[in-house]
Amino acid sequence: MAPFERYIVAALKLGFSHAVFLPGLKLCCRPEIRKYCNWEQCQNYGTTWVCPPGCGSIEECQERVLGYRAGIVVQTVGKIPPHDGKWEKLCSLRQEHNSRLHALADRIRAEGCVVLPLTTGGCTACESCTFPKRPCRKPERRMHALSAYGINVGDLCKQAGLEYSFTEDIVYYTACLLLK
């Protein structure tokens, strides 16, 4: 089995709803998406190493992602209750999604491959982020933010042949693991 096939099998075993390998993936970091990272529109702005300004400029992010040769797009798709428990369900699905992503990244790193995980909901590698007082505690396990990198998640899903939409009752948590 080719390494990427093993990674897809591992992703599905971990519980991701979908996992798609994209050879030669070259992400485009868009300033018009990064512009939503600001004090007024996001409570995470300026609070972690994975949000601006800690994550670097959009140009630095673009340069970083161009150093990778392929990607795996993974999704956790879940049903959301219409009223009671909606927020709790969203939070638990996001937590599960990011725990799976950590596990998958560790699994791939164990084979000697360098990976860069990009996801939704910030970095969950530590209980609290050291930004800005001390350097990142675990730079090798850092979970980068798709939004801070200016990634159009809808376009990425389309490229992977996956659904992505904002509906009332279904959530599509999406992440991308870049592979060197």
Q: Which of 69, 138, 158, 180 binds ligand SF4 (CB under 6 A)?
A: 138
Q: Which stretch binds ligand SF4 (CB under 6 A): 26-34, 67-75, 118-126, 169-177?
A: 118-126
Does 180 contact ligand SF4 by CB under 6 A?
Answer: no
DSSP code per residue over the chain? --HHHHHHHHHHHHT-SEEEEEET------HHHHTT-STTT-TTTTTSTTSTTTT--HHHHHHHHTT--EEEEEEEEEE--SSTTHHHHHHHHHHHHHHHHHHHHHHHHTTT--EEEEESS---SSSS--TTTS--S-GGG--EETTTTT--HHHHHHHHT------SSEEEEEEEEEE-
Does 116 contact ligand SF4 by CB under 6 A?
Answer: no
Q: Which stretch binds ligand SF4 (CB under 6 A): 14-22, 88-96, 110-118, 121-129?
A: 121-129
Q: Which of 19, 65, 125, 171 binds ligand SF4 (CB under 6 A)?
A: 125
Q: Which residue, 78 or 121, is less far from ligand SF4 as judged by CB?
A: 121
Q: How far is the CB of 165 from ligand SF4 (least distance, A)?
A: 29
Does 123 contact ligand SF4 by CB under 6 A?
Answer: yes
User: How many residues at the interface with ligand SF4, by CB under 6 A?
Assistant: 14
Query: Backbone dihedral region of 56: left (phi > 0), alpha (psi from -120 to 50 degrees) or beta?
Result: left
Does 142 contact ligand SF4 by CB under 6 A?
Answer: yes
Does 137 contact ligand SF4 by CB under 6 A?
Answer: yes
Q: Which residue, 49 or 173, is less far from ligand SF4 as judged by CB?
A: 49
Does 48 contact ligand SF4 by CB under 6 A?
Answer: yes
Q: Which of 70, 96, 126, 163 binds ligand SF4 (CB under 6 A)?
A: 126
Question: Cis before residue 132, ω within 30 degrees of 0?
Answer: yes
Question: Where along the sequence are the contacts to ligand SF4 (CB under 6 A)?
Answer: 48-50, 123, 125-126, 129-131, 136-138, 141-142
